[in-house]
């Protein structure tokens, strides 16, 4: 690692990424009470607050890294990992706690499968020095997905303020899952072209 890369290890953009990773176990801890998944209303709001801050760092770390020209190898590696940890762990947490149940579990499964498949595809294509750009539809998917997770984290606590909070979260999760199928297929189709060329 060069001295420049070492100096960027603790740059503000990278610290934001580290913070997003740290937010994951903190959100999980909010849902535990006496060793059981039984969050109080306060704990749900606290988890939501941590999630909102963590989600904002997803935008800020990349923006600041580009603006201040502080792009680093560790940042490039950890940023997508932090994103996927945040989404995947919270979806599993909500499923275990019961906020996501029944048919809604399939929406979570679709999103998780897509995250894993696209990550594998991106890693393979990176070895071929091929980049797959993020589409506007994929950005919308991420936004809807984050809002859905936020609503579901609030859950019963949010229902006391707006009775449809949990229901809206499930609906938006399904919308995100449907868009996930579309964008996932787009990524796979684009990647398949390079895989077939490589096979030839």
Q: Mean pLDDT across the chain, nearest whole number?
A: 85
Task: Quote the CA–CA distance of 79 and 58 in Å, as a whole number.
Answer: 8
> Among 17-21, 149-153, 182-186, which stretch is predicted with the lowest mean pLDDT?
182-186
Task: Quote the CA–CA distance of 134 and 137 in Å, as a whole number.
Answer: 8
Residue 16 buriedness (CB in 10 A; 0-12 / 13-18 / 19+): buried
Phi, psi for residue 37 in degrees, rounded to 5: -80, 85
Predicted pLDDT of residue 189: 75
Q: Contact 165/99 with Cβ under 8 angstroms?
A: no
Instruction: Convert the pLDDT of each residue in 49-102 to its tens digit.
Output: 999 999 998 888 877 778 877 777 777 788 888 889 999 999 999 999 999 999
Predicted pLDDT of residue 116: 85
Nearest to 40 by CA among 50, 31, 27, 49: 31
Task: Quote the CA–CA distance of 122 and 126 in Å, as a whole number.
Answer: 6
> Among 6-10, 22-26, 51-55, 71-75, which stretch is predicted with the lowest mean pLDDT?
6-10
Region 102-124: mean pLDDT is: 87
> Among 65-69, 159-163, 164-168, 170-174, which stretch is predicted with the lowest mean pLDDT?
65-69
Task: Quote the CA–CA distance of 31 and 46 in Å, as a whole number.
Answer: 10
Phi, psi for residue 72 in degrees, rounded to 5: -140, 160
**Range picked from 110-119, 124-133, 188-197 for highest mean pLDDT:** 110-119
């Amino acid at each position: 690692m060069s001295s420049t890369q070492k100096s960027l290890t603790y740059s503000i953009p990278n610290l934001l990424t580290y913070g997003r990773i740290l937010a994951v176990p903190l959100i999980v801890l909010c849902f535990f009470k006496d060793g059981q998944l039984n969050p109080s209303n306060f704990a749900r709001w606290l988890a939501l607050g941590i999630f909102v801050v963590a989600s904002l760092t997803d935008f800020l770390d990349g923006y600041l890294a580009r603006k201040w020209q502080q792009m680093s190898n560790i940042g490039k590696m950890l940023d997508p990992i932090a994103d996927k940890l945040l989404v995947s762990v919270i979806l599993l947490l909500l499923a275990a706690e019961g906020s996501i149940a029944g048919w809604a579990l399939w929406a979570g499964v679709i999103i998780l499968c897509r995250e894993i498949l696209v990550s594998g595809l991106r890693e393979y294509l990176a070895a071929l020095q091929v980049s797959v750009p993020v589409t506007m539809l994929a950005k919308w998917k991420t936004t809807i997905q984050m809002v859905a997770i936020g609503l579901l984290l609030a859950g019963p606590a949010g229902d006391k303020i707006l009775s449809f909070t949990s229901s809206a979260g499930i609906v938006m999760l399904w919308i995100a899952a449907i868009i996930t199928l579309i964008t996932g297929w787009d990524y796979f189709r684009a990647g398949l072209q390079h895989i077939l060329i490589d096979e030839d």
